[in-house]
Amino acid sequence: MIVNNSIYVDGKWAASPETVEETTELQRTLHGMAWLGLYEPSEPEFERVAREFHIHELAVEDAVQAHQRPKIERYGSLVFVVLRTAHYVDPSEIIDFGEIHLFIGADFVITVRHGAWPDLQQVRQRLESTPELLALGPAAVLYGVMDQVADEYRSVVNDLEHDIDEIEIEVFGGEPDVSKRTYSLAREVIGFQRAVDPLIGMLSAIRADRTGMTIDPNLNEYFRDVQDHVVQMQEQVQAYRDILQNVLSVNLAIVGLQQNEDIQRLSEIAIKQNDEVKKISAWAAILFAPTLVGTIYGMNFDSMPELHWGFGYPLALVMMLSVSIVLWFVFRRKGWLSSE
C-alpha cells in the first residue's frame, strides 16, 4: 500500500518511518512535513491512514474509488485534489488514463496513485534535489505532481500528432480502414480533452488563492508556468479534435465520390449490355422472318397455297427478302443496329 514514506525538515529528507503511526509521531517531534505515497490502497488500508491524519470520511471514499473527475475540494482544513493522468499506448493507439489523488494539509501531503503512470518517484527525486523548493511546503509537492502530469500530457500530444499525420496520408491514399482508425483516435482525443481542460481552471483557482491552501508567493510563478503549458496543450488538443472531424468529413466525401464512380461504371456497363441486347434482338428478328417463311414452305404438305404455282418459289424469296429489308430499316432508324 505505502510505496514511500518520508519526513522532510526545511526541504531536506530527515527520516523514513516504517509505519503510519510513526510518521505522525516523527512529524510532531521534528516539526517537519510528511509525504506519504500510496498505490491503489483498499478501503481498510486507507482508513488506517485517514485516522492518523484526520481525513474526512467522504474524502476517504473518493480516494479509494477511482474514476473521479479532475477537481479541487476542501474538507475542513484539508484540500483534496484529483488529477487525471494519461499515457499513450502507441501500438494500439489508445490513451491509458489513471488518477492521482492528493490530500494536502498544513504539514503533510498524501498522494494516492491509481494506474501505472506517472512514476511519482521522479517527482520526489526532483523536489529532493531542490530543497529550497520543497521547503515551501505541501503546495510545492502539489506543483511537482501537476508539473509531472503536464509533462506526461506533452508526450501524449506528440504521439497524437504523429498518428494524425499518418491518418491524413492514409485518407488520400485510399486506405480502407482509415475511417475506423480516425473515429477511434477521435474518441481518445475527446477523453484526453476531458482530462486536460479542468486542469486550467484548477490552476487558476490555486493561483487566485481560492482553494484555502497556504501557498508561498514564490510558488505562484511555478504554477503559472504549468498553467501556460497546459493552455498550449489544450489548444493543440482542440485543434487535433477539429482535424480528426475534418478528416472524417473528407474521407466520407472521398468514399462518396468513389461510390458514385463505381455506380457510373456499372451504369455504363449496363447501357453497353443493353445496346448489345438490342443488336442481338434486332438481328434475331430480321433473320426470324425468312426462317419462318422457309420453315412453313418446307413442311412438304400437298395442300398449300401456291405450292404448284410456277412463281411460288420466286415469290417466297422476294417475300423473305422484303420482310428482312423492312425490318432492317426499322431497327436501323431506331438505332438498334448502330455501332456507336
Residue 54 lies in a domain: yes
Residue 339 lies in a domain: no
Query: Are residues 282 and 230 part of one domain?
Result: no
Query: Are residues 182 and 73 part of one domain?
Result: yes
Sheet containing strand 71-75, edge to edge, reads 12-15, 2-9, 33-39, 108-114, 94-104, 78-89, 71-75
Q: Which amino acid is at 57?
A: E
Q: Own/partner pairs for 162-168, CB < 8 Å, 24+ apart? A: 163/90, 163/93, 164/240, 164/243, 164/244, 164/247, 167/244, 167/247, 168/243, 168/247
Domain CATH number, residue 314:
1.20.58
Residue 340 lies in a domain: no
Per residue in 231-258, pLDDT (tens digit) is 999 999 999 999 888 888 777 766 666 6
pLDDT at residue 324 is higher than 90 = no
Query: Are residues 247 and 312 part of one domain?
Result: no
b/e burial code for range 83-111 (CB count within 10 A of at least 16 → b): bbbbbbeeeebebebbbbbbbbbeebbbb
Residue 267 lies in a domain: no
pLDDT at residue 192 is higher than 60 = yes
Query: Are residues 253 and 174 part of one domain?
Result: yes
Query: Are residues 208 and 75 part of one domain?
Result: yes
Query: Are residues 316 and 280 part of one domain?
Result: yes
Per residue in 288-307, pLDDT (tens digit) is 777 777 776 666 666 666 66
Query: Are residues 142 and 278 part of one domain?
Result: no
Instruction: Give the domain-ending residue among 257, 284, 309.
Output: 257
Which stretch of DSSP H or E encloses residue 262?
A: helix 217-297
Query: Are residues 186 and 294 part of one domain?
Result: no
Residue 142 lies in a domain: yes
Query: Which residues 6+ apart lie within 8 Å of 296 measured at CB?
Result: none
Residue 265 lies in a domain: no
Q: In total, how many domains does the chain have?
A: 2
Residue 55 lies in a domain: yes
Say if residue 17 is preceded by a cis peptide, omega within 30 of 0. Answer: no
Query: Are residues 218 and 319 part of one domain?
Result: no
Q: What is the mean pLDDT of residues 115-133?
A: 87
Query: Are residues 225 and 286 part of one domain?
Result: no
Query: Are residues 47 and 133 part of one domain?
Result: yes
The range of the structural domain enclosing residue 304 comes to 273-334
Query: Are residues 138 and 48 part of one domain?
Result: yes
Per residue in 90-106, pLDDT (tens digit) is 888 889 999 999 999 98
Q: Which of 86-90, 97-101, 211-215, 225-229 has the lowest mean pLDDT?
A: 211-215
Domain CATH number, residue 65:
3.30.460.20
